[in-house]
């Protein structure tokens, strides 16, 4: 194939000329929904001409006067946590299916986040999905002030009147506590993440509430915070495993920290899971099901969460975005790191 010169794209004028209609007719032929009045035969003539020139409307020009692009911004937290990779994939697939593309914004370590966010918004994005804990409040406010639909994904900021999709973190934490109690565990450890992260707090809260209600004394619950990373979990897990009165059950508010803790407990400390310490996580990332971990954890209905988040953006409607709070149920998946007390409870056998 000879290297053809950069061919300039055909414009609506070219198509109009070829089809023998006005330029605006071309615009109408391509306007989504078929809303504007155009006769079907004309439309077909235009589309034929367009096909011949392999024309498609220039989205840049389009968004210059509509004020909306076909772009949705995704503000990402830490991609070392596989959860966010999976989230990104789902969002991208779904939005692409709706004719939208994802513009990614990774929160920079340095403080120039604000400038970069401005740049993202200046693409006249149709909506913003926030999955990062850092800066999310101010970012959300910036967007809302500009009238851009915002959805908080798995983070909840009570003071902020923004749409939000999350799962029932509190109930999930409670379910772990109940499972541990049923397993006869009497000494507990709780590994939380960032203190500002509401998800972490809610999960921890649900766990402690159930234990407290069951009469467990606060002295029997060790609580520690660590970074939401494998290494964070590793270090914290090692420390917990070494503590004087070693906990029998460890609840980590994130799968990734749970995996770090498990590796420390087994390989650094030489203890067995669940015999010496039972471990539970939260999130059910792909890795948790692996034979190396078999982590008992709370499955988040990610598919549903993504779909709800996209819905709340109200991309195709004329109506403003919905400031709705969606809370979805989680599902305790028993694997080997914390075994189900009775045979009838749900288990997962997949490798």
* Contact residues for its own copies, defined by CB under 8 A: 1, 3-7, 9, 56-61, 63-64, 69-71, 74, 76, 79-80, 82, 84-86, 88-89, 92-93, 96-97, 99, 101-106, 108, 116, 118-120, 122-124, 141, 144-147, 161, 230-231, 234, 259, 262-264, 266-268, 286-287, 290-293, 351
Q: Kindly state the smallest distance separating residue 31's Cβ from DNA, in Å.
A: 6
Quote the CA–CA distance of 221 and 241 in Å, as a whole number: 13
| Contacting residue, 1, 37, 195, 291, with DNA by CB under 7 A | 37
Q: Kindly state the smallest distance separating residue 23's Cβ from DNA, in Å.
A: 6
**How many CB atoms neighbour CB 118 within 10 A?**
11
Q: Which does 349 bind (CB under 5 to 8 A by kind): its own copies, DNA, none?
A: none
Please list every residue from 52 through 91 that binds DNA, using CB under 7 A.
55, 57-58, 61-62, 64-66
The b-or-e profile of 4-31 (16+ CB within 10 A means b, else e) is eeeeeebbbebbbbbbebeeebbbbbbe
Kindly state the tokens that stand for 320: 């403003």
Say how far residue 54 (Cα) sits from the centre of its chain: 37
Quote the CA–CA distance of 296 and 233 in Å, as a whole number: 16
Tell me if 30 contacts DNA by CB under 7 A: yes
Q: Which does 169 bind (CB under 5 to 8 A by kind): DNA, its own copies, none?
A: none
Tell me if 164 contacts DNA by CB under 7 A: no
Q: How many CA atoms lie within 13 A of 104 on its CB side?
A: 13
Quote the CA–CA distance of 139 and 120 in Å, as a whole number: 11
Q: Which does 12 bind (CB under 5 to 8 A by kind): DNA, its own copies, none?
A: DNA
Q: Kindly state the smallest distance separating residue 206's Cβ from DNA, in Å.
A: 47
| Contacting residue, 13, 51, 119, 346, with DNA by CB under 7 A | 13
Q: Kindly state the smallest distance separating residue 325's Cβ from DNA, in Å.
A: 31
Tell me if 98 contacts DNA by CB under 7 A: no
CA R_g for the chain: 26
Q: What is the 3-state secondary structure (H, E, C) of 266-319?
A: HHHCCCCCCCCCEEECCECCHHHHCCCCCCEEEECCHHHHHHHHHHHCCCCCCC
Task: Read off φ and ψ for residue 59, nearest 5 degrees.
Answer: -65, -25
Q: Kindly state the smallest distance separating residue 169's Cβ from DNA, in Å.
A: 41
Q: Kindly state the smallest distance separating residue 209's Cβ from its own copies, in Å.
A: 32
The residues that touch DNA, with contacts defined as CB under 7 A, are: 8-9, 11-13, 20-25, 27-28, 30-31, 36-39, 41-43, 55, 57-58, 61-62, 64-66
């Amino acid at each position: 194939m000879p290297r053809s010169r950069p061919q300039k794209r055909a414009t609506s004028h070219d198509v109009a000329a070829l089809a023998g209609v006005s330029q605006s007719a071309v615009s109408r032929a391509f306007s989504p929904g078929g809303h504007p009045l155009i006769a079907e035969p004309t439309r077909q003539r235009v589309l034929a001409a367009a096909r011949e020139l392999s024309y498609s409307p220039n989205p840049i020009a389009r968004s210059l006067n509509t004020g909306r692009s076909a772009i949705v911004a995704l503000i990402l937290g830490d991609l070392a946590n596989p959860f966010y990779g999976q989230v990104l994939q789902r969002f991208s697939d779904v939005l692409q299916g709706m004719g939208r593309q994802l513009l990614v914004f990774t929160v920079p370590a340095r403080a120039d986040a604000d400038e970069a966010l401005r740049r993202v918004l200046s693409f006249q994005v149709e909506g913003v999905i926030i999955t990062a804990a850092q800066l999310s409040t101010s970012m959300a406010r910036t967007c809302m002030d500009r009238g851009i639909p915002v959805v908080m994904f798995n983070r909840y900021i009570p003071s902020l009147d923004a749409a939000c999709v999350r799962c029932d973190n509190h109930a999930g934490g409670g379910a772990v506590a109940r499972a541990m109690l049923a397993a006869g565990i009497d000494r507990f450890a709780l590994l939380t993440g960032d203190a500002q992260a509401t998800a972490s707090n809610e999960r921890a809260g649900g766990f402690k509430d159930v234990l407290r209600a069951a009469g467990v004394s606060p002295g029997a619950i060790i609580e520690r915070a660590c970074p939401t990373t494998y290494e964070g979990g590793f270090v914290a897990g090692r420390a917990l495993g070494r503590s004087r009165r070693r906990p029998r059950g460890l609840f980590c508010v994130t799968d990734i920290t749970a995996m770090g803790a498990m590796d420390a407990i087994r390989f650094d400390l030489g203890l067995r899971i669940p015999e010496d310490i039972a471990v539970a996580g939260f999130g059910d990332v792909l890795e948790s099901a692996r034979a190396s971990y078999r982590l008992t954890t709370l499955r988040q209905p990610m598919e549903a969460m993504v779909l709800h988040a996209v819905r709340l953006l109200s991309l195709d409607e004329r109506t403003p975005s919905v400031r709705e709070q969606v809370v979805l149920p989680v599902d305790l998946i028993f694997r080997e790191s914390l075994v189900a007390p009775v045979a009838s409870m749900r288990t997962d056998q997949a490798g």
